[in-house]
Amino acid sequence: MNLVYYSRCILESIVTSKNTRNNIFSRRLDFINSVSVNNLQCKHFFFDIDDTLNTNKAGLNLEICKLLNKFAQKGDVVLLTNCSKKRKENHLSNLQKFQCSAQLWEVGKKPNYNWLNSKLIEKGWISNDCAFFGDRLSMDIWMAYKANIKERILVEGYTKQSTFGLIHLIRKIEAWLIL
């Protein structure tokens, strides 16, 4: 992730939220398992991993893989994360172990919305058929907003649960500035 680019995204997301008075997310959820898969009229589903599908750094387990497979019955399931190479290998091994149909795309690309747009074009996917689940407003949700993704679902439960660590502090500041 390019830090200059990311800093610009943080600023852009704050300024946009303040100027438009609109939420950059389209729905909000406490936890991912409270989602109603059938309520989303989408064909392609994107998920952040940490603090969206599970607590930070906990990774993918059988329960999460079963949920992702429910989405896979409706369309494509893509995982987008900025994790390390080692954790990427761990995610790939868990996807295989729990027979999960989700794809893990290139790591470290968030919040590069131009990259996401080019990937959608490459796949022939229409942004209006896509949903994106994430916990970070200036990372996941901003990327989805700028790529015109129809459903941008903010998942807040894991962030609210934990009050420790730098990343949680950043999230709380983001929520305070953007929401």
Footprint on this chain of Mg ion (rule: CB under 5 A): 48, 50-51, 135
Question: Quick one: 32 or 95, whose CB is closer to Mg ion?
Answer: 32
Q: How far is the CB of 140 from Mg ion (least distance, A)?
A: 6
Structure-token pair, residue 88: 């990427």
Q: How far is the CB of 23 from Mg ion (least distance, A)?
A: 18
Cα Rg, the chain, nearest whole Å? 15
Question: Quick one: 50 or 151, whose CB is closer to Mg ion?
Answer: 50
Question: Quick one: 50 or 174, whose CB is closer to Mg ion?
Answer: 50
- C-alpha distances (whole Å) from 76 to each of 34, 91, 109, 157, 162 are 20, 17, 19, 25, 31
Q: How far is the CB of 52 from Mg ion (least distance, A)?
A: 5
- C-alpha distances (whole Å) from 122 to each of 51, 83, 118, 139, 166 are 29, 23, 6, 22, 36
Q: How far is the CB of 158 from Mg ion (least distance, A)?
A: 8
DSSP 140: I
Q: How far is the CB of 100 from Mg ion (least distance, A)?
A: 18
| Cα–Cα distance, 121 to 7 (Å, whole number) | 26
Question: Quick one: 17 or 138, whose CB is closer to Mg ion?
Answer: 138
| Cα–Cα distance, 90 to 8 (Å, whole number) | 31
Question: Quick one: 63 or 126, whose CB is closer to Mg ion?
Answer: 63
